[in-house]
Amino acid sequence: MVILKEGDKAPAFSGTDQNGKKISLASLKGKKVVLYFYPEDDTPTCTIQACNLRDNFSLLQKKGIEVVGVSPDDAAKHKKFEAKFNLPFTLIADTSHAILEKYGVWDQKQMFGHKYMGVLRTTFLIDEKGIIRKIFLRPKNKAHAEEIVAALS
């Protein structure tokens, strides 16, 4: 369950992206950040969401936004996802769930009566000072970039 609120300081994190590069919230200081958490690379809904962000990437960049995706997949799987769909943004491999847990998006889920641990699809819009300005608990996957831009207004 997401326990962070809009106005909270975003929890510090660091991880490794699809290219083996270290990335942290501190390294993004001074930039607006869309930190989006998703369950799994190359699955239908996750692909729709990623491709919407890809298709609107230049608009997000014009607004000064850095896009960072996080899932429990490893860097190699992220690299394949990036290549297959020509994704122009960073994907952090959080196989230990450390970042997912800090942001409260690793939680119990249920499907067809079966309970399991998984990622709650959630996006955080973080400002240049590291403050959470907007939390999208149920992102509109086909129009996610548009709702992010609207939240800036």
β-sheet with 65-71: strand ranges across: 22-24, 14-17, 90-93, 65-71, 32-37, 122-126, 132-136
Range with lowest mean pLDDT among 43-47, 87-91, 99-103, 149-153 = 149-153
Catalytic residue among 10, 34, 46, 50: 46
Q: Span 99-116, mean pLDDT?
A: 92
Q: How much is the mean pLDDT over the chain?
A: 96
pLDDT (average), residues 15-28? 96
Phi and psi (nearest 5°) for 54?
-65, -50
Percent of the chain beyond pLDDT 90?
92
| The pLDDT of residue 1 is above 80 | no
The 10 Å Cβ neighbour count of residue 49 is 23
Tell me the domains of the chain and their CATH numbers.
Answer: 14-152 (3.40.30.10)
Which of 73, 50, 64, 72 shows the shortest CA–CA distance to 123?
50
Average pLDDT over residues 108-115: 88
Q: pLDDT tens digits, residue range 51-86? A: 999 999 999 999 999 999 999 999 999 999 999 999
**Residue 111 pLDDT exceeds 90:** no
51 is catalytic: no
